[in-house]
Amino acid sequence: MKPRVLFVDHAGVLGGAELYLLDIVRAMKEQSHVVLFEHGPFYDRLKEEGIEVTVLRSSDSVMGVERTGGRLDDLKAIPGIFSMVMQLRKMAKDFDVLYANSQKALVIGSLAAKAAGRPVLWNLHDILTADHFSGAHRKLGVFLANQFIDHVIVNSQATKDAFGESGGDLNKTSIIYNGIDASRFDSIDDHEVAELRTSLGLADHKIVGVFSRLTPWKGQHILLETLGHLPEVHALLVGGALFQDDHAYERSLRNLAERMGITDRVHFLGFRDDVPRLMKAVDIVLHSSTSPEPFGRVIVEGMLANKPVIATGAGGAKEIIDNGVDGLLIPPNNPMAMVNAINQLVADPVSTEKMARAGYQMARKRFSVENIVLDVQNQIRKAVGDLDVLTYTETSTPSI
């Protein structure tokens, strides 16, 4: 019997964690139900794909809690948390297991699962450091994980290390990387790419692209500074300001481009659903995060688009790229390093093509959605006490 799984995620927007979850629930549709804490594009996408989804009656005090927020906001959120736990507990009784896919989902999901007498997994997508979380939130996450969570799936060794350093129990973690569907990239032909470049008015230009939500640690400002040194190069900034504070960052980027006099070469495209097409249309895919990236889906996607990828060498990026072989790693926060890496790729097209090809092959092999879904399914089966392990087909490349 396939276990019935109640997936829980707080976000209505489509960030990396939600795109990952979409792949998982799509593959196990008939046994899955998703609970979100708000409406939004993620809800719409799940509905469109015929996946069962419910939005909890959420309290503003809970939704307003920031990762780096203070204890007062946390205290104000307690009545809202209680009400959401009670709603979720009722639902959880109809399922075999809960699967919390975000921090807020951990808080509500772990308490609801225990109250309903169900096992619960947590998929940790973040590096638990002071860059991203207040001390109180790190402590709370680790406490709930150690006390109530049956198994923690982490998206990289870097995420696992930070969890351990914050006091998390490493005996119940396993690393499962994100999988990316290569067919979305393979299906795009040269004609479509040429048309897109023309429609952007960039048919004859060198184009680089960053494909991340606009938020300070994703480092789009580093890209703008880089462009200041490369007068011929255009940049696509693909991604929206998904969360509350990020709108101010978007404004600051636009102001910076204005001050630098490069607005004609910086193309803000906002959040897009056609990332594969856009990646295929650029010459180089850049990743510019200034803090360690927990995983970095965009790095794998750049490789599957058959593009040379330059990424900042910290966190998950170092686990994906073999520097100089299938991509380039540069130090974070360093526009000149990015300039030099771009120049290196442009100056030697033969080596660059070889690097892109190596990246494509490596990404197909290591980050197949099918295998990653199997890894997740096996953890779910273990959590409900089913020890029959599902095995890989063809490219048997389990994540660590």
Q: Return the structure tokens found at 295.
A: 């995983």
Task: For ligand UDP, give the closer residue by CB, 225 or 301.
Answer: 301
Q: Under rule CB under 6 A, how many of the chain's residues touch ligand UDP?
A: 18
Segment near ligand UDP (CB under 6 A); pick from 3-11, 15-23, 257-265, 367-375:
15-23
Question: CA 302 → CA 96, 273, 311, 365, distances in Å?
Answer: 37, 15, 10, 15
Binding status of residue 16 toward ligand UDP by CB under 6 A: yes
> Smallest gap, in angstroms, from Cβ of residue 211 to ligand UDP?
5
Beta bridge partners of 329: 311
> Smallest gap, in angstroms, from Cβ of residue 340 to ligand UDP?
23
Q: Taking CB under 6 A as the criterion, which residues in 255-314 touch ligand UDP?
A: 271-272, 275, 295-298, 301
Q: Return the structure tokens found at 317.
A: 């990026």
Please answer whether residues 8 and 39 qualify as being in contact, where contact means their C-beta atoms are separated by less than 8 angstroms.
no
Whose tokens are 């197909």? That residue is 364
Task: For ligand UDP, give the closer residue by CB, 221 or 297.
Answer: 297
Question: CA 367 → CA 20, 293, 329, 361, 395, distances in Å?
Answer: 12, 17, 19, 10, 10
DSSP string, 42-101: HHHHHHHTT--EEE----HHHHT--TT--HHHHHHHHHHHHHHHHHHHHHHTTSSEEEE-
Residues in the chain: 400
Of 10, 15, 11, the C-alpha closest to 241 is 15
Helix (H) or strand (E) holding 8: strand 5-9
Q: Which residue among 17, 224, 314, 329 contacts ligand UDP (CB under 6 A)?
A: 17
Q: Which residue among 4, 13, 19, 174 contacts ligand UDP (CB under 6 A)?
A: 19
Of 223, 260, 218, 257, the C-alpha closest to 239 is 218
Question: What burial class does residue 321 get, using C-beta atoms within 10 Å of its C-beta: 0-12 exposed, 13-18 middle, 19+ buried?
Answer: buried
Q: Taking CB under 6 A as the criterion, which residues in 236-255 touch ligand UDP?
A: 238-239
> Smallest gap, in angstroms, from Cβ of residue 292 to ligand UDP?
11
> Smallest gap, in angstroms, from Cβ of residue 275 to ligand UDP?
4
Q: Taking CB under 6 A as the criterion, which residues in 202-221 touch ligand UDP?
A: 211-213
> Smallest gap, in angstroms, from Cβ of residue 347 to ligand UDP?
28
Task: For ligand UDP, give the closer residue by CB, 211 or 360.
Answer: 211
Interface pattern 42-81 for ligand UDP (x via CB under 6 A): ----------------------------------------
> Smallest gap, in angstroms, from Cβ of residue 381 to ligand UDP?
26
> Smallest gap, in angstroms, from Cβ of residue 228 to ligand UDP?
24
Please answer whether residues 35 and 8 qualify as being in contact, where contact means their C-beta atoms are separated by less than 8 angstroms.
yes
DSSP for residue 296: -
Task: For ligand UDP, give the closer residue by CB, 95 or 133.
Answer: 133
Q: Which residue is nearest to ligand UDP (CB)?
A: 16
> Smallest gap, in angstroms, from Cβ of residue 130 to ligand UDP?
17
Report which residue type is found at 18.
E
Task: For ligand UDP, give the closer residue by CB, 137 or 277.
Answer: 277
Question: CA 396 → CA 370, 372, 375, 391, 399, distances in Å?
Answer: 10, 11, 11, 9, 10
Task: Quote the crossing angle between the two packed helices 335-347 and 220-227, to the nearest 10°.
Answer: 60
Task: For ligand UDP, give the closer residue by CB, 88 or 310.
Answer: 310
> Smallest gap, in angstroms, from Cβ of residue 316 to ligand UDP?
8
Segment near ligand UDP (CB under 6 A); pick from 16-24, 85-93, 335-343, 361-369:
16-24
Task: For ligand UDP, give the closer residue by CB, 82 or 271.
Answer: 271
Which residues contact ligand UDP (rule: CB under 6 A)? 14-17, 19, 211-213, 238-239, 271-272, 275, 295-298, 301
